Amino acid sequence: MLPLPTTMKAQVLTAYNEPYTLVDMPVPELTSPYDLLIKVEAASYCHTDAVCAAGGFQGHANAPTQWPHIGCHEFAGTVAQAFESNSEMDLVAHDFRIGDRYAVVDLRQVAPLPTSMSAKEAAPLMCAGLTIYAALRNCELQPGQRIAIIGCGGGLGHLGIQFAHRMGLKVVGTDTSKGALDLAQQLVKQSTIVDATKVKAEDLLQEIGKEDTVFERGQMGCDAAIILPESQAAFDYGMCLLKDRGTCVVVSFPRNGFTFSTQDVVFRHVSIIGSLVGSNRLLREMLTFTAKHGIKSTSKSFALSQLNELVEQHHSGVYGKLIVDMSLEDLSP
Ligand SMILES: [Zn+2]
């Protein structure tokens, strides 16, 4: 292994609702036999980074336990140092103790990258990819059944429609911006992609019914719906598209929650379940599945020093993923 520098660059938050500051920090040290030091090559910005920076996790287990706090917790890189072994291998990791460009991770939480996958391709899979893959698996659908993905052109959605299609599901995707809709349509041509601002859920349901030649209200529509946006309108849209006994999978967590109709759960027997990230076993399965089917995340790269510009673009409503690519600038101390 190469000798390690003693300091590194990091983009840190020192308070809620403040921009990130680029600072020099000591390279983190290994303290446990489970620790691995990863040289981060690419790190992807996650929606929970934005929630965390805005103080949305205050009082919850996910809140920063100390300042400074570093964002972009989904990343990929190479092992720089292990507590005991000295083997060098490509790894991906998902952990909250990240320091760009080096991060200490728990070796029980990492997974080897398929050889065909670059760090830039892998980083957005570590949280967004795993989260939507797990949500799809939690629907427990069989090939040929139909899934609705509400928010199909976002960071999770654009991966979700590709996974769902490759799982053999019929895909219905909705979104609200032209960029997101175009991206989704281009990624999975066989899907039904709909602008939710123009087509009412009830009308889309009738269209699906016609396609399936099913005309009874409770029998037409989707077997499951995954809700990715935080709006009540998105939740209601997904619920409307469900068949009776369908499953609504909630992935987003708006501050004030969602309101559901008791009619839907009592008379239509719709199940509402939540889904959060996924296990390490599922992470490895998702990486293999992604490589096997050539699934790609659509991302836009920024240098580490441009993180605040990345965050601004995140808030202006982007589609696909925004990532920090460490190779875009010289970060040597
Ligand atoms: Zn995340």
Expressed in angstroms and rounded, the spacing between residue 269 Cα and the centre of ligand 1 is 31
Confidence band of 98 (pLDDT split at 50, 70, 90): very low
Range of weakest confidence among 57-61, 75-79, 253-257, 320-324: 57-61
Measure the CA–CA gap between 137 and 226, rounded to whole angstroms.
Answer: 11
Expressed in angstroms and rounded, the spacing between residue 278 Cα and the centre of ligand 1 is 11
The whole-number average pLDDT for the span 76-96 is 67
Expressed in angstroms and rounded, the spacing between residue 232 Cα and the centre of ligand 1 is 22
pLDDT surpassing 50 at residue 110: yes
pLDDT at 2: 59
Mean pLDDT of the chain: 91
Q: What percent of the chain has pLDDT over 90?
A: 74
pLDDT surpassing 80 at residue 41: yes
Greatest mean pLDDT among 21-35, 84-98, 150-164: 150-164
Expressed in angstroms and rounded, the spacing between residue 213 Cα and the centre of ligand 1 is 40
pLDDT at 247: 98
The whole-number average pLDDT for the span 319-332 is 86
- Cα atoms in the Cβ-side hemisphere of radius 13 Å centred on 168: 6
pLDDT at 97: 44
Confidence band of 85 (pLDDT split at 50, 70, 90): low
pLDDT at 333: 58
Range of weakest confidence among 72-76, 122-126, 263-267: 72-76
Expressed in angstroms and rounded, the spacing between residue 101 Cα and the centre of ligand 1 is 18
Expressed in angstroms and rounded, the spacing between residue 47 Cα and the centre of ligand 1 is 6
pLDDT at 96: 46
Architecture, CATH, for domain 7-127+279-328: Alpha-Beta Complex (3.90)
Q: What percent of the chain has pLDDT over 70?
A: 94
Domain range 129-274, its CATH number among 3.40.50.720, 3.40.50.10490, 3.60.150.10, 3.30.230.70: 3.40.50.720
Written as six digits, the tokens of 184 are 């989704």
Instruction: Answer whether 7-127+279-328 and 129-274 agree in fold.
Output: no
pLDDT digits (tens, 9 = 90+) for 195-233: 999 999 999 999 999 999 999 999 999 999 999 999 999
Range of weakest confidence among 66-75, 81-90, 103-112: 81-90
Expressed in angstroms and rounded, the spacing between residue 184 Cα and the centre of ligand 1 is 21
Q: Domain ranges for the chain, please list them.
A: 7-127+279-328, 129-274
Long-range pairs for 62-69 at CB < 8 Å and ≥24 separation?
Answer: 64/13, 67/12, 67/13, 67/14, 67/15, 68/10, 68/12, 68/13, 68/14, 68/21, 68/23, 68/25, 69/12, 69/13, 69/14
Range of weakest confidence among 100-114, 171-185, 284-298: 100-114
